[in-house]
Amino acid sequence: MRTAIELAHNGPATGVNPRVGCVILDEHGEVIAEGWHRGVGTAHAEVDALSKLPEGGASGATAVVTLEPCNHTGHTGPCSEALIEAGVARVVYAVSDPGHASSGGAARLREAGVEVVGGVLADEVEAFLGDWLTAAALGRPYITVKWASSLDGRTAAADGTSKWITGAAARQRVHEQRAASDAIVVGTGTVLADDPSLTARGDAGELLATQPTPVVVGVRAIPREAAVFHHPHPVIFEGTHDVAELVRDLHGRGFRRVYVEGGPTLASAFVAAGLVDEYAIYLAPTLLGGPRVALTDIEVTSIDEQRKLQVLSIEQLGADLLIRAVPAHNGSAQKEGN
């Protein structure tokens, strides 16, 4: 299973489909084929591995796969049926598929007389696939809200200036998080105030290979010369202030990992709506005072209504700290290492 997890890392970290790896063993426990999923429209990991065997080569074999084999027809056929037709005798998987349409592969395999074992190294695979599993279970993207602030919770000085609160190492980590996301979301206020490019860049300012699609939320017009129009992906404009409507549309567009990097108004709207799966909070060892707070009204009127978080990790980046946290009630469902 650990080899299958390593294979899964070869797949794209963004997109609709999960990263899945598969190892096929013969009757003596020897590896006879390996495969992984390379992205939407390509063979799933099980089929990729089976394709490397001659006809009949998987008869009596064991397939070890990180995610329960799917049981539906999308861009490709159901992996459960492919394994049955190949004559696989046993399937071992780590995590059940939470997808409404794609789940049920284990039951189909058992129905066909295939021995099925689930839950092997489940914790490791849940940590690896945490964002995708959450998105599949909830039917919406996995949403990370990010902000950078002073220790007293200010995202800008009283006059609105904010470049730069955090140092180079923290800013580079933000670019890495952007690159690991399908979409980056900001409000029109952020575009008008800061003119961000919303790209993911390397240390030397070069564009990284993977870029999030820029999404601008709000009804105000954006100047034609705005930097976001030079992004490698066309900008998506969402003319709404309803974040639930926004999230539904982003999911319908195929986005499964969304990085919210807007200002306090947009961030607070996501928090108030209960639509945050993970917080990425960058803290700089400085004090600013004044009114420019990271969050505004999040519909907490008394201490009993506070929104408690579970801290996943605290990382020092130069002089700054990155705190990753999740809502306390679902912390166990989040990934630890990505």
Catalytic machinery residues: 46
Q: What is the DSSP string of 17-30?
A: SPP-EEEEE-TTS-
Distances (CA, A) of 306 to 272, 291, 298, 302, 338: 11, 21, 9, 7, 27
Q: 182: which DSSP letter? A: S
Q: How far is the C-alpha of 268 from the C-alpha of 256, rounded, in Å?
A: 21
Q: How far is the C-alpha of 197 from the C-alpha of 176, rounded, in Å?
A: 15
Tokens coding 204: 């030397």
In the block, which residue shows the tokens 């400085």? 286
Q: Characterize the bridge pairing of strands 62-67 and 309-317.
A: unpaired
Which run of H or of E encompasses 244?
A: helix 243-252
Tokens coding 2: 């650990």
Return the ∠ at Cα 30 (arms to 26 and 33), rounded to 5°.
70
Walk across the sheet containing 90-95 and list its strands.
31-36, 21-25, 62-67, 90-95, 115-117
Which candidate, 225, 193, 3, places its Cα nearest to that of 94?
3
